[in-house]
Structure 1
């Protein structure tokens, strides 16, 4: 039977989720003060198998103490005393790993002052153990959202946010590039988001100014820039393997295609020189560039699978009917093009898998990201597809798990602060029924999620998901 302390804590957590549900239904909520969780409570995971992700080791029979939202102690159960009054979570035979990071996420903004979709999206990430997200299309609202999260006034993964988009329309020349980079650094964005279309001169000024003011940049590779020049400019991360595929074709081939390379280089596939893969991988390593593959974007959005069938997948019930319709239309438009065919798509996936393996073999660090919510990529749920796509490319379970736990903290220069289970780290934890190092699917056998010391048992998460599904079924 649960202790009275545990019952009280569960009631507090249920109340917090109840408030999120009310917000999603546009019902006025009680005061913020009543909604606050109690991050000072102490938890003890007892007799648990720990995957600290500081390496590839597994420690059995451990006790992990959480206090004030951080890991206070970890060690063999016989050596760790459970503090009086702690909420004890008996975890014999279970596995504890750090929470996951979605490193190519999108966060909505409130519509006419209504932040219901924002809260719902953040919960969907949390519901699958995503305790850190890197927002890839920033907005001034996201700077305020970060403050709310840091103050624990909203239950959410921690957020790192990009600037608003730097693209061919917003950055048409070098002068505007310098102005916007300087402004976004002063505004407090974590990094710059690069989109296609930036002219080469403006791109070079953007990169130069970013180095001067001390802000990194990530995202797409504008076609006028090209992958080789982009790598030498030292992106923090290149997402989607953008520019790599088209970089395997020669300039002569590009001209043959009238510089229309298609969806992420799809039209260049017949001209790709696979011998260049190792060269690009080494150049990536030499310039310290990280990679967010978003492989599931191509195995799902750009696959020949019937959009109507994908719209009926179980996780789609958590998205609105309007969103599902838009996703069906977007996918149909992509694969309905006259030049699209399944054989060329398969060759595209094969080349991307070769690139991903070569990058890993060159010791280029990988980051887990799926571009959610994007076409048929539901927040949180899409990371399962992404992990499977990485595994299909020949990446090991350990490397995949590191890409979504310890690597993001390293990427942000916060190693030891989150993404690992060690003393002093944020208590972002997943309690699993099996070992994901042996069976990657066990990552999703979650019996509970802890985010910064807030414990969310599976039954509570499932109840909230049922409410979201019911709201979108109307």
Structure 2
């Protein structure tokens, strides 16, 4: 075998190796570059100073690879890792950064190497700084500022000032929530484009999907606004009767309107953060007490889990989450997701974590399963977590693919994720900015987090 003939020339160490931050050579791997669907079989990858320096094909003619830090990939598969592009990072209360740092490890341990936090706070800026400077281990972090909503925005002029403030403070993105009026939205759009900061989020009812797209939304979270845009124009939406995200109105949808909405979305170059798992878990018919028992809940504080249980049970008691209501709604969302995707609308991998029963990192694998069930191919799913987020942030020349000169951000798994998505749930190793974390180290961090939240 070529593997054995080449690796016999190497002084290899197993995947229980210590972390290296400068140079390493990972041999005996297959590389999914994400520059198309080609897999580079029988390769080594040389990392130096946080960058991918060389991709080396391994053949009987390959010269001896003599190097101090050689790691045997044991025939595994390397890919650029995943994204969580709708995160809600914890706030560092009373100066404690524990929950923030735990979130970073929960993401890394699940192969999530880039996050976009969509509900910002000044402490998130400091977290981003610490991660960027290597003081805290974690994925690449992009931060939206505090929400623009009916309470925080009082006038177009005040909205303009708020955009300028968030840009000056160093936030990467603006988050729109319900309650923003149409004239305020146009003011946000004008200044955001002037100072070059992207914005997106929910689609306020007073704004509507058409205006949100025309205003320059870079991303629409949760596919919000599409159902409302498909309803009859004379239908009155009542907060108390329509249900969360108007799920009780799905039988009123006029699907013949969808092609025009898709065309508008494509024309504006808008991205979609679908968060299928949030709706499956928060607004699905599976009882809250069942989700409470999910194994990954042990990595979060008990009071937070109880808060989620209480929130979902309120909807259960109101009858909103009865199966006959929820099944058609979730089916509509999956069909909408697939229609947008098949038309070419870019999807960014996102699950909304930590949010109701979505644990950082783990929830991305629930999202992936639902995307697959809806009809998205394995390659396109991987693309939504690597290439597309890089394009979204304008960083496609820096990360998101396995190419020489790009950032050494990648994940090693046992099997080919283009054939088996489940293999991504248990990374054998993660390399982040050139720093190597083996499975043993990742598990040690998970064990620490579990111990921190032992139920009394």
TM-score (norm 1): 0.90
The SS at the match of 1:427 is coil
Does the Cα contact within 8 Å between 1:67 and 1:453 map onto a contact in 2? Answer: yes
The SS at the match of 2:145 is strand
Does the Cα contact within 8 Å between 2:11 and 2:70 map onto a contact in 1? Answer: no
Alignment of 1:21-100 (within 5 A): 39-40=21-22, 42-78=23-59, 84-100=66-82
Is 1:187 aligned to 2:172, yes or no? no
Range with bigger deviation, 93-102 or 380-389: 93-102
- Mapped to 2, the partners of 1:318 and 1:39 lie a distance apart of 27
Is 1:212 aligned to 2:165, yes or no? no
- Structure with greater contact order relative to length (CA < 8 Å, sep ≥ 6): 2
The SS at the match of 2:336 is helix
Does the Cα contact within 8 Å between 1:74 and 1:80 map onto a contact in 2? Answer: no
Alignment of 1:357-436 (within 5 A): 357-436=338-417
The SS at the match of 2:21 is coil
Paired residue for 2:306, among 325, 342, 359? Answer: 325
User: 1:18 maps to what in 2?
Assistant: none
Structure 1 residue 4 displacement after superposition: 10
- Mapped to 2, the partners of 1:188 and 1:235 lie a distance apart of 19
- Mapped to 2, the partners of 1:239 and 1:81 lie a distance apart of 50
Paired residue for 1:134, among 113, 116, 137? Answer: 116
The SS at the match of 2:366 is helix
Give CA-to-partner distance per residue, 1:83-140, whole Å, 9 cap, x none: 6443212124211111211100111121111111111111111111111110111112
User: 2:6 maps to what in 1?
Assistant: none
Supply the RMSD in Å over aligned alpha carbons.
Answer: 2.2
Is 1:449 aligned to 2:430, yes or no? yes
Alignment of 1:213-228 (within 5 A): 213-228=195-210
The SS at the match of 1:166 is coil
Is 1:114 aligned to 2:96, yes or no? yes
- Mapped to 1, the partners of 2:416 and 2:12 lie a distance apart of 30
Structure 1 residue 169 displacement after superposition: 0.9
- Mapped to 2, the partners of 1:5 and 1:435 lie a distance apart of 23
User: 1:159 maps to what in 2?
Assistant: 141
Alignment of 1:299-314 (within 5 A): 299-314=280-295
Give CA-to-partner distance per residue, 1:414-441, whole Å, 9 cap, x none: 1131111001111111111101111211
- Mapped to 1, the partners of 2:321 and 2:411 lie a distance apart of 41
Is 1:467 aligned to 2:428, yes or no? no
- Mapped to 2, the partners of 1:339 and 1:459 lie a distance apart of 44
The SS at the match of 2:310 is helix
User: 2:232 maps to what in 1?
Assistant: 250
Is 1:343 aligned to 2:327, yes or no? no
Structure 1 residue 227 displacement after superposition: 1.0
Give CA-to-partner distance per residue, 1:380-424, whole Å, 9 cap, x none: 000010001111111111111100011111111111311110011
Paired residue for 2:223, among 201, 218, 241? Answer: 241
- Runs (5+) with no aligned partner, structure 2: 1-9
- C-alpha spacing 1:221/1:195, structure 2 compared with 1 (3 Å): same
Give CA-to-partner distance per residue, 1:51-81, whole Å, 9 cap, x none: 0111111110011101111110003124766
Structure 1 residue 243 displacement after superposition: 0.9
- Mapped to 2, the partners of 1:46 and 1:10 lie a distance apart of 14
- Runs (5+) with no aligned partner, structure 1: 14-37
